Amino acid sequence: MNTVIPFIPKPYFVKNLKDNTLGTLKIAILRKVIGNIIIRSSEQDETISFLLPGKEVVEIPARKLKSREKLTGLKLCRAHEVVDEEVRYNLLQHTRQLANPNSILFGDSVIEDALGLQSRVIYDWAYSLQDIADITTSLQHNALSESGTMWDENKAKLRKSLFQIRYVKAGAIFPHFVSVENVTPELFFHLLACLHFTNRYGAQHTTSGPNVENKIVAIGWSAFEPPLTSLKVSELWGDQKVEQEQGEEWLLKQMLEHYEQDQLVQGSTITDWFKEAWKDQKMVRSLYQKAQQDGETFLKEIKVWKS
């Protein structure tokens, strides 16, 4: 085991970020909707869905999950002063700005130099266990004036600003997987923080409160990643009714079918350890500083950043 992440064997982390080695860490997450969430592409009255045998499920593209967690990661890096203060999300101007834990972990690109870093985190697309008919609803909205009515005082008539939006309701359950390759223990700790502290997703997330609760069910490790996806987990579940506890048990069962007992750690161990570790902010800051230093060394070694 390693001293930073005590429950994962040392060989599944790298010392040098230039290394490209065998070994993948697979995080199984149960994402439970706890407030209305909008999952759409372009039409506001349509929810993205996918047709499986016997049911139609809600589909969340990987980018809609990764982007929110990457943004949380940027805020965490700012809080621990390990990112250039001029960096804005997806707007890096210079190669030296890549030298931060968030860009090294999630990947980033530099506008002026047309240069990018590949992500070390691979996000699965998420699919609900339940049928779309059971977990969505359409609500009518209107754009009120300053007086709180639909009255247009300039035209002396009611405005026609009614529209409908389709929501995924609280109680929807999405099994999901995030896979990690070639990371240091410090970068993995940063990823755990991003998963733990992010709770708002989907369209219009800036106008609503927390709407998703993320629960790590297990982490597995092996030389090669097994073919286990959210779509497969949902398809195997079928059209049964589901509660959160059942969803957790089902997701853990799928992990245990692909990993041996000594290749897996369960979620309660991970979460309890992370919460306790996060209390020691002196230690946390040192992890972030080490992650930044490793990033600087990596960029210099691959000749991206010449100090």
> Would you list the DSSP string of 145-211?
-TTSSSEETTTTEE---EEEEEEEPTT-EEEEEEEE-S--HHHHHHHHHHHHH----SBTGGGS---
Percent of the chain with pLDDT over 90: 70
Tokens of 191: 């990823």
21 CB-near residues (< 8 Å, 6+ apart)? 14, 182
Average pLDDT of the residues in 158-175: 79
Output 229 or 2, whichever has higher pLDDT: 229
Instruction: Check whether 93 has a pLDDT greater than 90.
Output: no
Tokens of 282: 């002196």
User: What is the Cα–Cα distance from 218 to 154, expressed in whole angstroms?
Assistant: 59
Predicted structure pTM score: 0.90
Q: Beta partners for 220?
A: 26, 264
Average pLDDT of the residues in 281-286: 96
Average pLDDT of the residues in 167-184: 96
Of 85, 121, 125, residue with least CA distance to 195: 121
Average pLDDT of the residues in 181-201: 97
Sign of CA dihedral 158, 43, 173, 199: negative
60 CB-near residues (< 8 Å, 6+ apart)? 39, 48, 125, 126, 127, 174, 201
Helices 267-279 and 281-301 cross at an angle (nearest 10°) of: 100
Confidence bin at 43 (pLDDT 50/70/90): low
